[in-house]
Structure 1
Amino acid sequence: MYYFPEPPYFLMTAGLIAGMASGLAFEATLKQAVELWSKNRSSRTLSNLKGLQLQLPFLGMAGGICVFLASGMEIFGFPKLLSYVLALPLTLLTAWLVWTQLAKVLIELQRGGSQALDLDSFFEEP
């Protein structure tokens, strides 16, 4: 007789909570840095965002999401190794895409200020 292993509900919940907590820390750090930049308009402030101060919560968020995804696949019957083999590249690709997009947005913000990010101005009548 074959017994199914206990689904990793705890890991799924822990990954979700870790991802959300790191996401909140990432948001707060990013908002604080952009507010500091808007006060003094120093290009060094935005270039410092690529440091450990912003990378640590971002990596925590990505790690939590990876554990959440892998645990979710395990709940649906995937083996543990296959779950992590699928979740890790998916998480790394998504994290890389988000990080590069964030870098592009910060460069646009530095070049043109907050007006560069105003999407409503693209659809106004001349």
Structure 2
Amino acid sequence: MYYLPEPPYFLMFVGFFTGITCGVAFEATLKQIVNTWYKSSAKPADLLDSSTLQLPFLGICVGICVFLASGVEIFLMNRWVSYAISLPMTIFIGALVWTQLGKLLEQLQKGGSKAIDLDAFF
């Protein structure tokens, strides 16, 4: 008897839900930490080192990795290959976002929102 595997639609939904819920938690935590940072004289590097901000970001990365791997698995029908593709991509993009957030917070500390040159984007 031949077994035809079902596509991982449930894992795709779980990954998407995890990414969204952790994103909401990350947004709330980041707002709270930035408000605390604005009132005190802490450095932005100290804010990014706190586990209260790292844990929701890690949850976002895990959720997006599962979502991407499930989406690739629908087309490739191989779980190992799909995770081999999505895991490095998620780690790379997550590291880029984390370093960009750190640079943005440092730039805001130096000169506030006027330090961000919006003319470079337009």
Whether TM-score is above 0.5 comes out as yes
Could you list the runs of 5+ residues in structure 2 that have no partner in the other structure? none
Distance verdict in 2 for CA 1:52–1:46, change over 3 Å: same
Distance verdict in 2 for CA 1:16–1:38, change over 3 Å: same
Deviations 1:13-39 (A, max 9, x none): 000000010011111111111122223
Greater shift after overlay, 71-80 or 95-104? 71-80
Per the TM alignment, residue 104 of structure 1 is displaced from its structure 2 partner at its CA by 0.4
Could you list the runs of 5+ residues in structure 1 that have no partner in the other structure? none
Partner of 1:43: 42
Partner of 1:106: 105
> What is the distance in 1 between the residues matched to 2:14 and 2:116?
35
Q: Is the aligned partner of 1:12 residue 2:43?
A: no
Kindly name which structure, 1 or 2, has the bigger radius of gyration based on alpha carbons.
1
SS of 1:43's equivalent in the other structure is coil
Whether the 8 Å CA contact 1:19–1:65 is kept in 2: the answer is yes
4+ residue runs over 6 A deviation: none
Distance verdict in 2 for CA 1:70–1:88, change over 3 Å: same
Partner of 2:118: 119
Partner of 2:26: 26
Q: What percentage of aligned pairs have identical amino acids? A: 57
Whether the 8 Å CA contact 1:43–1:110 is kept in 2: the answer is no
Q: Is the aligned partner of 1:66 residue 2:65?
A: yes
Whether the 8 Å CA contact 1:108–1:116 is kept in 2: the answer is yes
> What is the distance in 2 between the residues matched to 1:74 and 1:121?
39
Distance verdict in 2 for CA 1:121–1:19, change over 3 Å: closer
Whether the 8 Å CA contact 1:33–1:46 is kept in 2: the answer is no
Per the TM alignment, residue 75 of structure 1 is displaced from its structure 2 partner at its CA by 1.0
Aligned-residue RMSD, C-alpha: 2.1
Per the TM alignment, residue 5 of structure 1 is displaced from its structure 2 partner at its CA by 0.6
Per the TM alignment, residue 3 of structure 1 is displaced from its structure 2 partner at its CA by 4.2
Deviations 1:89-115 (A, max 9, x none): 000000000000001001101111222
- Give the TM-score normalised by the residue count of structure 1: 0.86
Whether the 8 Å CA contact 1:66–1:88 is kept in 2: the answer is yes
Deviations 1:22-63 (A, max 9, x none): 0111111111111222233x1247623321010000000000
